A and B are shown apart, each in its own frame.
Chain A
Amino acid sequence: MSRAGASDRLDVNIKHKFYRAASGDCRHVLGQISLGLNSGEVAALVGPSGCGKTTLLRIVVGLDHDFEGSVQLPAFGKLGVVFQEPRLLPWRTVEENVRLAAPQADDVTLGALFVTLGIAEHRRHYPGELSLGLARRVALARAFAVKPDLLALDEPFVSLDTALAARMRAELVELVSRQPVTTLLVTHSIEEAIEIADRVVLLSAPPARLLGDVRIANARRNRTAAAIAAIRDEIENKINAVDQPAARC
């Protein structure tokens, strides 16, 4: 795999990914997946749970090197990652958590970010004093504060109540509209994908491969319920997975 280059595109080209369990079992997790993202494009990876979406994301951000293929990160490869769990340092305050990941961030940018995400009054709190929703917002603030070349989000709104998840999705849309950034969002919810992304990339059941790549034309902010429903129908038509035999390890 190569990571060199100064192209603004994200290029992912995976041939195979096998997962070897401690018991010695071997599973074929990812099949042939090619995915290119232009600068500033927001793509959502959607697929059934356990299909390898998180594995794909971990390969893209360089946490998993055990695969066949290549990943080319955009520009300087600076990453902003929001994990499924907030992954904050419990012994550092909210502000310290953000500043440790983004030492170059200036006060004005950080202040604006904290206000947008509604965590301004929690700056000096420790993560243990925050609700899950607030901790998730801090993780989001941390990822944006580094001014990433690639923003990677792994199910950032799971296990939040519906209203809170909707509010946070709106905040994310607001942030990527204001500060365009190449974004890869992993989610199992088609509605969430349609609301946030420019492109919805569909993955099959494992071994995952691309089932479809749906582009959404109208601007993020004025997607009506009817438009979302239409896109949703289009996507669901594509999900008629053809069975594909798993390759051997």
Chain B
Amino acid sequence: MNLALRLASVALLLVVWLAGAHFVGARLLPAPQTVWFAIVQEARSGALAFNLGVTLARVAAAFAIAMILGTALGLAMGRAPLFDKLADPWLIVLLNLPALVIVVLAYVWAGLTETAAIAAVALNKLPIATVTVREGARALDPALNEMAVVFRMGELVRLRHVVLPQLAPYLAAAARSGLSLVWKIALIVELLGRPNGVGFEIGVAFQLFDVTHILAYALVFVAVMLAVETFLVQPLERHVSRWRVRPA
């Protein structure tokens, strides 16, 4: 029933798309089948896989850096009030700096390099991950910590079995909001200063007014991110919350 509703919703979207293409003309909104053929053509030439791969690699690298640094910083700020007071203004500045400013400055200071691109994306995501994990670190249960102390659990055991499971919901929230933010900013970074990737292709298509090309890349990319969400993020969330008693 659920699946049927979803399929019906997607079918309706296609119908609206077809109708729109008919009314505004193929130049502004090409029909679904035109976009489909463009996707097939890009896939045959190998350009699609290459650009998608490059972009995904950047997303993965930036995401990993931001999550690891954000978790470490968030934990430190949540546990040490002095460090929190010192680092908080920096965090607020970074949090309120527009993504575009960070990207442009990274390119100006570090050149149009891969490092600058990934750092700029990671830096955009870092403060949000930090703030989310800090909330989690503040909510750590002191009773469980005392238990770990009296039973002389080692640092690693404590981190893995006592601290991280308590942070899991916060890490999941940071990962979820982070992933969608990271790939959106990754495209801007590519548009402004990289010679390949989905963002670069969309930039080129924009200059040529090639709406078919734009839609082809955008749709494939959305499909890939949807797959990541369904086959990676959701199963992982189910795994870390397996101990929760589900309401009958």
Binding site for B on A (CB under 8 A): 61-63, 78-81, 83, 85, 87, 89-92, 96, 100-102, 126, 128-129, 142, 146
- Which residue of A62, A78, A89, A102 contacts B165 across the interface (Cβ within 8 Å)? A89
Is there a chain A Cβ closer than 8 Å to B1's Cβ? no
Asked whether, in the complex, the Cβ of A87 is within 8 Å of the Cβ of B161, the reply is: no
Instruction: Note all chain A residues with C-beta closer than 8 A to B152.
Output: 78-79
Q: Within the assembled complex, what's the spacing in Å between the Cα atoms of A85 and B143? A: 9
CB distance from B163 to the nearest CB of A (A): 11
Is there a chain A Cβ closer than 8 Å to B147's Cβ? yes
Is there a chain A Cβ closer than 8 Å to B40's Cβ? no
Asked whether, in the complex, the Cβ of A89 is within 8 Å of the Cβ of B151, the reply is: no
Closest B residue by C-beta to A58: B146
Asked whether, in the complex, the Cβ of B244 is within 8 Å of the Cβ of A89, the reply is: no
Which of A85, A96, A100, A146 has the most B CB atoms < 10 Å from its CB?
A100
Q: Within the assembled complex, what's the spacing in Å between the Cα atoms of A78 and B240? A: 32
Known contacts A81-B151, A129-B245: A100-B143 contact under CB 8 Å: no
Asked whether, in the complex, the Cβ of A92 is within 8 Å of the Cβ of B153, the reply is: no
Number of interface residues of B (CB under 8 A): 18
Asked whether, in the complex, the Cβ of B165 is within 8 Å of the Cβ of A81, the reply is: no
Is there a chain A Cβ closer than 8 Å to B243's Cβ? yes
CB distance from A102 to the nearest CB of B (A): 8
Q: Within the assembled complex, what's the spacing in Å between the Cα atoms of A92 and B165? A: 9
- Which residue of B144, B147, B243 contacts A126 across the interface (Cβ within 8 Å)? B243
CB distance from B149 to the nearest CB of A (A): 7
Instruction: Note all chain B residues with C-beta closer than 8 A to A96.
Output: 161
- Which residue of A63, A78, A83, A128 contacts B244 across the interface (Cβ within 8 Å)? A128
Instruction: Note all chain A residues with C-beta closer than 8 A to B146.
Output: 63, 83, 87
Which 6 residue pairs are nearest across A and B when measured between Cβ atoms? Answer: A101-B151, A91-B165, A126-B243, A128-B245, A91-B243, A87-B147
CB distance from A87 to the nearest CB of B (A): 4
Q: Within the assembled complex, what's the spacing in Å between the Cα atoms of A90 and B162? A: 10
Q: Within the assembled complex, what's the spacing in Å between the Cα atoms of A85 and B147? A: 11
Is there a chain A Cβ closer than 8 Å to B157's Cβ? yes
Is there a chain A Cβ closer than 8 Å to B150's Cβ? yes
Instruction: Note all chain B residues with C-beta closer than 8 A to A83.
Output: 143, 146-147
Query: What per-residue 1/0 map shows which CB atoms of B218-248 lie under 8 Å from chain A?
Result: 0000000000000000000000100111000
Query: What per-residue 1/0 map shows which CB atoms of B168-210 lie under 8 Å from chain A?
Result: 1000000000000000000000000000000000000000000
Q: Within the assembled complex, what's the spacing in Å between the Cα atoms of A72 and B124? A: 52
Closest A residue by C-beta to B143: A87
Asked whether, in the complex, the Cβ of A92 is within 8 Å of the Cβ of B161, the reply is: yes
Give 6 CB contacts A-B under 8 Å. Answer: A78-B152, A87-B147, A89-B144, A89-B161, A92-B161, A101-B151
Asked whether, in the complex, the Cβ of B151 is within 8 Å of the Cβ of A79, the reply is: yes
Instruction: Note all chain A residues with C-beta closer than 8 A to B153.
Output: 100-101
Asked whether, in the complex, the Cβ of A128 is within 8 Å of the Cβ of B144, the reply is: no
Closest B residue by C-beta to A86: B147
CB distance from A145 to the nearest CB of B (A): 10
Query: What per-residue 1/0 map shows which CB atoms of B136-158 lie under 8 Å from chain A?
Result: 00000001101101111100010
Q: Within the assembled complex, what's the spacing in Å between the Cα atoms of A102 and B157? A: 12
Closest B residue by C-beta to A143: B151
Closest B residue by C-beta to A92: B161
Asked whether, in the complex, the Cβ of A81 is within 8 Å of the Cβ of B162, the reply is: no
Q: Within the assembled complex, what's the spacing in Å between the Cα atoms of A96 and B244? A: 16
Instruction: Note all chain B residues with C-beta closer than 8 A to A87.
Output: 143-144, 146-147
- Which residue of B143, B151, B157, B243 contacts A128 across the interface (Cβ within 8 Å)? B243
CB distance from A107 to the nearest CB of B (A): 19
